A and B are shown apart, each in its own frame.
Chain A
């Protein structure tokens, strides 16, 4: 059994009139020491999926309407809130997109790490503080015994994200969920943070779910990839298989939109159109209005997930076909 098993996850936003589905039939697994990348445009449901796994949907109008999430043999959706909290920040931890605002501005960073440690481990304040200094040096914060008393506003974005990582790793989690951890950072700092995460993973064996809209980041760091489009997994495979053969026209579009530095072009490539809004009901494939391969079949019938090759699944009637 894999460490994390998400099966047929359904998430919906409740409005005054009805429930609008935002994530539909999403399934994937993550093993120990493995990194799964979830990639997609804004609003495709990747962040909601990660919040649902973590248990942070809370009192928002967004709720899980179907499917299951198993973690380490436990059915997370069947746990009480109290049992759930015992896992959060402990065996499962999360880092977020906005390092500038994800730390509480009025407390010293050390106190914020200590808080997480003492919530889950029976440590004295002094012991938790010593452990926090160790964690800060683990994430390569210079002068950790001094910086532990800094306030968040006294640190740069990259340093704050390191603090977030230190906090997330403080209780040796089995699973780390990273929701766009490098999006808000400079490119050079991005690389440092990703390297740090990879390094810590190889030392601790943590499983990572990395959410990103950046295929480049995914290609560099992940063992396998799930491409999401409007709440569904359009294509999923190991990173090597996926980039060897891009089956879904959306995945190809994403890859083509990455500018190539040594090619001189007047216009950057983009996928035409926009993601259909939640209110628009679709009968066929959600990508069909933007797809160059679309036929009448695509407009009437939503494609099912098919195993194109072992370990490489896709939701497209014309998977792997070019325009010809």
Chain B
């Protein structure tokens, strides 16, 4: 397991390099002088020339890339044009919100998605299955911005149960109770993804239930619930684990929308605002961080996959 993990970490290097080239070219592929774009319409030619020299835009592209890469490897993602602060610090300030939001979302996805999926599969063909399946279909097809606004209307405006926007840090007044700010956003984010998991758990459990070894388990005289959980669900989890990698990718793009709807000071909203402010160093930095995170999550998914399925060899 350890050897495999180390080996997989090494195979991440070429992928990361490729990603870094794409991220670097992001600014340079935009037509025109990057310095002029960075400074906006009101900049004078002198200012543009000065920034060009400052940022090294006058040097050959490949030299610029290696200088940038060298900085990135030392943890220096550049300086935010808007905040006048290191990009890493800017991203770090949004990290708490985003990490908490993602964790709560995953919590809902597992808490809602798995049991309803199992229920839907065990009761398949009955009205229970029809209700859960159509509910899942509805949740999966609802746009997050719409669902978010609806939840705000019902639970914040009308019922007043949860705050509608913002998120004070856990270290501020209120401490752990500040998590209530994240309940609606995390439910918004979780809904379509939990629905996906419901459908996946249902489909793969129905597949597994047809397999010969399930008949063997029944022939042992085991209780049907034991057959369902220990034999059917356990095998169905293999396919579900693989989907969690994709769920994470979906979460990133949906988080951008959700954090905007709920005005959460997270990384998703930072991206949107940085695009509006043309703060390219921040956009570059966030993309790079997301790429690295995505690869780490997928590595974890692969490791989980190997734990769940003994036929997958870690060599």
Contact = CB atoms under 8 A, between A and B. Distances in A.
Given A58-B218, A105-B235, A153 B212 contact: no
Interface string B212-232: 110111111111000000010
A217 interface: no
Contacts of B216: 96, 102-104, 164, 167
B211 interface: yes
A101 B211 contact: yes
B84 interface: no
Interface residues of B, number: 20
Contacts of B220: 88-89, 115-116, 119, 167
B221 A119 contact: yes
B310 A151 contact: yes
A120 interface: yes
B215 A56 contact: yes
Contact of A101 (B212, B223, B231, B234): B212
A106 B310 contact: yes
A43 B242 CA distance: 38
B212 A106 contact: no
Nearest to B219: A94
B164 to A, nearest CB: 45
Nearest to A81: B224
B213 A103 contact: yes
B207 interface: no
A105 B212 contact: no
Given A98-B212, A101-B212, A105-B213, A153 B311 contact: yes
Given A104-B231, A151-B311, A85 B212 contact: no
Contacts of A105: 213, 235, 309-311
A98 B215 CA distance: 11
Which of B211, B221, B309: most chain A Cβ within 10 A? B221
Interface residues of A, number: 28
A87 interface: yes
A88 B220 CA distance: 6
A86 B221 contact: yes
A63 to B, nearest CB: 16
Prevailing SS type, chain B contact patch: helix
Contacts of A153: 310-311
Interface string B174-195: 0000000000000000000000
A56 B213 contact: no
A58 B308 CA distance: 28
Which of B211, B216, B309: most chain A Cβ within 10 A? B216
Contacts of A102: 212-213, 215-216
Contacts of A101: 211-213
Nearest to A100: B212
Nearest to B124: A59
A31 B265 CA distance: 78
A262 to B, nearest CB: 38
Nearest to B308: A106
Given A88-B221, A104-B231, A96 B308 contact: no
Nearest to B238: A106
B221 A89 contact: yes
Contacts of A54: 219
Contacts of B219: 54, 56, 88-89, 93-94
Interface string B72-90: 0000000000000000000
Contacts of A58: 218
Contacts of B222: 85, 89, 115, 119
Nearest 6 pairs of A and B residues by beta carbon? A88-B221, A89-B220, A85-B221, A101-B212, A89-B221, A104-B213
5 contacts: A88-B221, A89-B220, A105-B235, A105-B309, A106-B309
Given A84-B221, A102-B213, 10 more contacts: A54-B219, A89-B219, A94-B219, A103-B216, A104-B213, A106-B309, A119-B220, A119-B221, A120-B221, A164-B216
Interface of B: 211-213, 215-223, 231, 234-235, 238, 308-311
